[in-house]
Amino acid sequence: MTQVLATTVVVASLYALLAAGYVLVYRATRVLNLAQGDMMTLGGYFLFLVATAAPGEPARAIAGAAALSALAGFLIYRLLMRPMAGHPIFAAVLVTVTLGILLRAAIVLVYTDRIRHPLGLLGLANPARPLIGGAVVSTFDLFTVGAAAALFAALFLFLRFSPLGIQMRAAGEKPLLASQRGINFHLVFALSWALAGFAGALAGILYANNVRLDPSLGVLGLKAFAVALVGGLDSLGGVVPGALIVALVEVLSVRYGDPLLADVSPFLCLLAMLLVRPWGLYGTKEELERV
Amino acid sequence: MRGGGYFKTTYAADLALVDTRLRRRALAALVFLLLVLPRVASPFILDLVAQTALAAVGALALNVLTGLAGQISLGHAGFIAAGAFTTGLLVENGLRSPLIALPAAAVVGAALGIVVGIPALRLKGLYLALGTLALHHVVLYACAEFQNHWGANTGVSVPPPALGPWVLKGVVAWYYALTLAAALTLALSVNLRRSRAGRAWMAIRDREIAAESVGIDVARYKVLAFVWSSAITAVAGALFAYHRAFVSVEAFGFFLAVEYIAMIIIGGLGSALGAVLGAAFVTLLPHVLDAMVAGLRLAGGAAYYLFPLKFGAFGLLMAVFLLFEPQGLVGIWRRVRNWFALWPLRYRPLRSAS
Amino acid sequence: MTSFFELTPSLELENLEVVYHHVATAIQGVSLRVMPGSIVTLLGTNGAGKTTTLRAISGFLGADNAQIVGGRVLFLGQPVTGRRPHELVRRGLVLVPERDKVFETLTVQENLRALVPGWRAWRGADRPRIRLDQVFEYFPLLADRRRQLAGYLSGGERQMLALATALLCRPAVLLVDELSLGLAPAVIERLMILVARLRDELGLAVLLVEQNAGAALAVADYGYVMEHGRIVYDGPRDRLLAHADVREFYLGVGHRAGRKSYTDVKQYRRRRRWF
Ligand SMILES: Nc1ncnc2c1ncn2[C@@H]1O[C@H](COP(=O)(O)OP(=O)(O)OP(=O)(O)O)[C@@H](O)[C@H]1O
Ligand SMILES: [Mg+2]
């Protein structure tokens, strides 16, 4: 029982990191970034890249990989998404789909589709940790939970109190008015993509160390969009309960059902949510009309 | 007054499917070409045309839903899978006749269309796309469970369709069958544009509230669009199963849905001709890339890079169309046509002063 | 008013032409001037092209697929045609738009804070700095409603919030689109007086686009009348107030026999202005 709870929290943390990326980009640009999963993979491979260049320096490697991913997010906005301004939203969403395809192709081209384990390169270990109550998790499981908690706290403070955060919310609501108030909304949007890249990279880095790294990790991203929708696409706060619900259902269906069911369970949650409350747990109802 | 390509004098002329003499001749030439093609072309080419035709059936069906009615679906692969698996299930249970399988697939597709269409009434745009994407995963899950139950983990083989003594076998036979299917779907889709339902769908696509206010039953027509589209799509899935002679979940991943979306986008959203062009483009692209790589005569190891390159080229082309040619191949075609129609004059839009 | 012609205008349009979707001309050769420290009003019926003019000035046309195809915009003597909106704002050319003028999902305070001056973007501007408490002094109502979501404000309160946020951008020229839209006459009067006070105390130049000619001409120094994308008449306030067509069609106090549509009146005096 405690094991179920512990696993749920860990899985939820990973999903929450990814879903934060969806929500950030959506809040700012109204685009659902279906490449978020592949941006996570990219983060993992950046870690691999930095780790091969300078083995045995975990702190620098992780910081470098996260920074590279944020930069990648920024560039993706600048090169791919910004030209889509003025096109229908759905076309922009499809561009993110092609972005995912391109990222995956690039990764396979450079690193082949072999499974990698950057953990060894970094000179780290991932010992199991027993918790009170008899549950066992790995060290990086704990890091995942910690990273998710820290990211959400930081994002909350940033969006709530910092001028830049307020500008990000403002530009997300009415980009034209924002530019009329001196806000360079393209810059703000690029920043939100950079933040999403950073959040995705955190997930990718932790997952790569904790489990493995291969080019098809991106499917996790599809599960995480179910999380974002269950919580409400425009609500960062909704991500947390959304992630917990989806993770719990998934963990339970692994335990009592079969792996096939577990794979599809996030989508079942999503469909159920779309039927009862399409705007999600904490999303705003008006959002449905905007898209 | 005399009617012309763009200038119609009667309502009937405005409704005509093939309106000018030039177009009638072009159509006749195309039909003739398709009929004699098996006499001149190699089996490989015929097979490519057949694959294109099959893809075109699916793309045309998606085009009705997304291009005409404006309901975005990322779950198209799910409907195809549903049709294919219906066929597989029937075959597995001894009902091998396509006379049963094709209608059954259509009924399953239509039912699925209702299942999706009714909840979809509450959803719009992005949310609808995500709902259908989720549905795609659920349908695939159901198919995977079926597959496991059959004990055939890799898939089910489907014998060629037979009507009494006639068995649909061989490249030429399939070529005719699939081209005919595509032609029928094309005629049906073009015809839909001038039907009441087609006009209602276009009205809903352009502005739902306005459509409602002129008395269009939005809910009914939306569900109808789903039913229509998914029924045809499921039939395409059944044909797919027969043509491949094999059904397996792996064939119907998210990437297939993206491919279909790519077809109607690259072709030109909302245009039946575009759906066919897009189907041809997406189907032929990998073969063209193959041929190009083969032409380069690279060393043995290079073949390894072929897959990611093909995959990436597909993504790149789709991005290029989305970014620079939102009207798709049809848009290019129209521009070329206008250029010839206006020659030697030119239409030049006003340019910005700065 | 001897210095009037020697000053550099705060804002000047020279034969501006705007085309929508590459085909529909909305503005054809509009020229106008706003002098420092003056309120200029731009009058016109629905669809005359007033909003389009303001959009063209503030670099906003791209979003509606419109383009400036001729003429130029001079701001403080420098050409700024086609600059991006946020740059123009940072230089002091600030618009209060017709619709969508506040961030509805942000609180009043956040609306004001989203653009608090003092951040690097505003560096070097020699325009007077406007502080938050100064704004609250002009709009005491906003101080009471700081914590409320701007989406819950009434039309008049939104208008005030929009003016307040515009002020915080430290404008040299304030462009206001339909200050009176949907407001009660008493509120309009109060806001107009406030605009006049802002002009006096902060030395702002204001371009006031209005349908409500009476209210606008009560505070304006100079006025232009626009129709079908052209300026058809202009003059100082008193001349406009005395002008028969303006009286008849804008102020509703004409005494000609029968009603006329605007387009029936063909003989507008199209004059070459300023020289
Ligand atoms: N987005 C657009 N696309 C095409 N034409 C437009 C667009 N916006 C405005 N127009 C046209 O430009 C002309 C001027 O419109 P504009 O909005 O500037 O008028 P206005 O004077 O502000 O009217 P109102 O008093 O009603 O606000 C109108 O004829 C209108 O049809
Ligand atoms: Mg207007």
Q: Does C146 touch chain A (CB under 8 A)?
A: no
How far is B204 from A259, CA to CA, in rounded Å? Answer: 41
**Residue whose CA is at the smallest distance from ligand 1 atom 26:** C46
Asked if residue C46 has its Cβ within 6 Å of ligand 1, the reply is yes
Residue B3 confidence (pLDDT): 44
> Which residue in chain C has the smallest CA separation from B353?
C69
**Residue whose CA is at the smallest distance from ligand 1 atom 9:** C52
Q: Which ligand is nearest to the CA of C225?
A: 1
Chain C: list its partners (3+ Cβ pairs within 8 Å).
A, B
> Which residue in chain B has the smallest CA separation from C80?
B354
Answer whether 0.90 is exceeded by the pTM.
no
Where do we find the tokens 């304006």? C220
Cβ neighbours of C68 in B, within 8 Å: 352-354
Domains of chain C, by residue range, sit at 8-252
Q: Which ligand is nearest to the CA of C53?
A: 1
> Which residue in chain A has the smallest CA separation from B146?
A260
SS3 call for B166: strand
Q: How far is C230 from chain B (nearest CA, A)?
A: 19
Q: Which fold has domain C8-252?
A: Rossmann fold (3.40.50)
Q: Which ligand is nearest to the CA of C48?
A: 1
Three-state SS sequence of A56-121: CCHHHHHHHHHHHHHHHHHHHHHHHHHHHCCCCHHHHHHHHHHHHHHHHHHHHHHHCCCCECHHHH
Asked if residue C189 has its Cβ within 6 Å of ligand 1, the reply is no
Asked if residue C26 has its Cβ within 6 Å of ligand 1, the reply is yes
Cβ neighbours of B349 in C, within 8 Å: 22-23
**Residue whose CA is at the smallest distance from ligand 1 atom 16:** C49
Residue-range definition of the domain harbouring residue B59: 43-342
Cβ neighbours of A84 in B, within 8 Å: 322-323
Asked if residue C20 has its Cβ within 6 Å of ligand 1, the reply is yes
Q: What is the mean pLDDT of chain C?
A: 82
Cβ neighbours of B270 in A, within 8 Å: none
Q: Do B350 and C72 touch (CB under 8 A)?
A: no
Q: B79 in a domain, yes or no?
A: yes
- Number of separate domains in chain B: 1
Cβ neighbours of B67 in A, within 8 Å: none
Check: CB of residue C89 under 8 Å from CB of residue C53: no
Q: Does B213 touch chain C (CB under 8 A)?
A: no
Q: Cα(C240) to centroid of ligand 2, in Å?
A: 21
Q: Does B334 touch chain A (CB under 8 A)?
A: no
Check: CB of residue A33 under 8 Å from CB of residue A96: yes
Residue B297 confidence (pLDDT): 67
Residue B13 confidence (pLDDT): 72
Q: How far is A176 from chain C (nearest CA, A)?
A: 8
Q: Does B258 touch chain A (CB under 8 A)?
A: yes
Tell me how far apart the 2 most distant CA atoms of chain B are, in Å.
73
Q: B139 in a domain, yes or no?
A: yes
Q: Do B124 and A289 touch (CB under 8 A)?
A: yes
Residue C123 confidence (pLDDT): 54
Q: Does C22 touch chain B (CB under 8 A)?
A: yes
**Residue whose CA is at the smallest distance from ligand 1 atom 25:** C46
Cβ neighbours of B352 in C, within 8 Å: 67-69, 82
Cβ neighbours of B303 in A, within 8 Å: none
What is the ipTM, given to two decimal places?
Answer: 0.88
Q: Which of residues 71-130 of A touch B (CB under 8 A)?
A: 80, 83-84, 87, 89-91, 93-95, 97-102, 104-106, 108-109, 112
- CB contacts < 8 Å between A and B, how many? 118
Q: Do B130 and A229 touch (CB under 8 A)?
A: yes
Asked if residue C49 has its Cβ within 6 Å of ligand 1, the reply is yes
Q: Does C72 touch chain B (CB under 8 A)?
A: yes
Q: How far is A91 from chain B (nearest CA, A)?
A: 6
Q: B255 in a domain, yes or no?
A: yes
Q: B244 in a domain, yes or no?
A: yes
Identify any residues that bridge with C66 across adjacent strands, giving them in sequence order: C20
CA distances from B187 to B35, B194, B274 (A): 17, 12, 14
Atom of ligand 1 minimally distant from the CA of C229: 14
Q: Cα(B67) to centroid of ligand 1, in Å?
A: 29
Residue C271 confidence (pLDDT): 38
Asked if residue C182 has its Cβ within 6 Å of ligand 1, the reply is no
Q: Which CATH number belongs to the domain containing residue B148 in this structure?
A: 1.10.3470
Asked if residue C51 has its Cβ within 6 Å of ligand 1, the reply is yes
Q: What is the pLDDT along chain C (275 residues), one digit of tens a residue?
A: 445 556 788 899 999 999 988 888 889 989 999 998 899 999 988 888 999 999 999 888 877 788 888 889 999 888 988 788 888 888 889 999 988 889 988 999 889 887 755 454 455 556 667 778 888 888 888 888 888 999 898 888 899 899 999 888 888 899 999 888 878 888 888 889 989 998 898 888 999 998 888 888 889 999 999 988 899 888 998 888 887 777 777 776 655 545 544 444 444 444 333 33
**Residue whose CA is at the smallest distance from ligand 1 atom 28:** C47
Q: Which of residues 166-205 of A touch B (CB under 8 A)?
A: none
Q: Do A289 and B144 touch (CB under 8 A)?
A: no
Q: How far is A87 from chain C (nearest CA, A)?
A: 10
Q: What is the pLDDT of residues B339-354, one digit of tens each?
A: 887 777 776 655 554 4
Check: CB of residue C230 under 8 Å from CB of residue C31: no
Q: Does A271 touch chain B (CB under 8 A)?
A: yes
Q: Do A173 and C65 touch (CB under 8 A)?
A: no
Asked if residue C71 has its Cβ within 6 Å of ligand 1, the reply is no
Atom of ligand 1 minimally distant from the CA of C45: 25
Q: Do A181 and C169 touch (CB under 8 A)?
A: yes
Q: What is the pLDDT along chain A (291 residues), one digit of tens a residue?
A: 788 999 999 999 999 999 999 999 998 988 889 999 999 999 999 999 999 888 888 888 999 999 999 999 999 999 999 888 878 888 888 899 999 999 999 999 888 888 888 888 888 888 888 888 888 889 999 999 999 999 999 999 999 988 889 999 999 888 888 888 888 889 999 999 999 999 999 999 999 999 899 998 888 888 898 999 999 888 898 999 999 999 999 999 998 888 888 889 999 999 999 888 888 888 877 776 665
How far is C13 from C273, CA to CA, in rounded Å? Answer: 12
Q: Do C60 and A176 touch (CB under 8 A)?
A: yes
Where do we find the tokens 């690279």? B298
Q: pLDDT under 50 in chain B at which residues?
A: 1-4, 353-354
- CB contacts < 8 Å between B and C, how many? 25
Query: Following DSSP, what letter does each residue of chain A receive, concatenated?
Result: -HHHHHHHHHHHHHHHHHHHHHHHHHHHHS---TTHHHHHHHHHHHHHHHHHHSTT-HHHHHHHHHHHHHHHHHHHIIIIIGGGTTS-HHHHHHHHHHHHHHHHHHHHHHHTT--B-HHHHHT----EEE-TTS-EEEHHHHHHHHHHHHHHHHHHHHHHHSHHHHHHHHHHH-HHHHHHTT--HHHHHHHHHHHHHHHHHHHHHHHHHHT-B-GGGGHHHHHHHHHHHHH-TT-HHHHHHHHHHHHHHHHHHHHHS-HHHHHHHHHHHHHHHHHH-TT-SSS-TTHHHH-
CA distances from C261 to B58, C14, C46, C205, C250 (A): 56, 29, 13, 33, 12
Cβ neighbours of C79 in B, within 8 Å: none
Asked if residue C47 has its Cβ within 6 Å of ligand 1, the reply is yes
Cβ neighbours of A229 in B, within 8 Å: 127, 130
Residue A182 confidence (pLDDT): 84
Q: Do A90 and B135 touch (CB under 8 A)?
A: no
Q: What is the pLDDT of residues A26-78, one digit of tens each?
A: 989 888 899 999 999 999 999 999 998 888 888 889 999 999 999 999 999 99
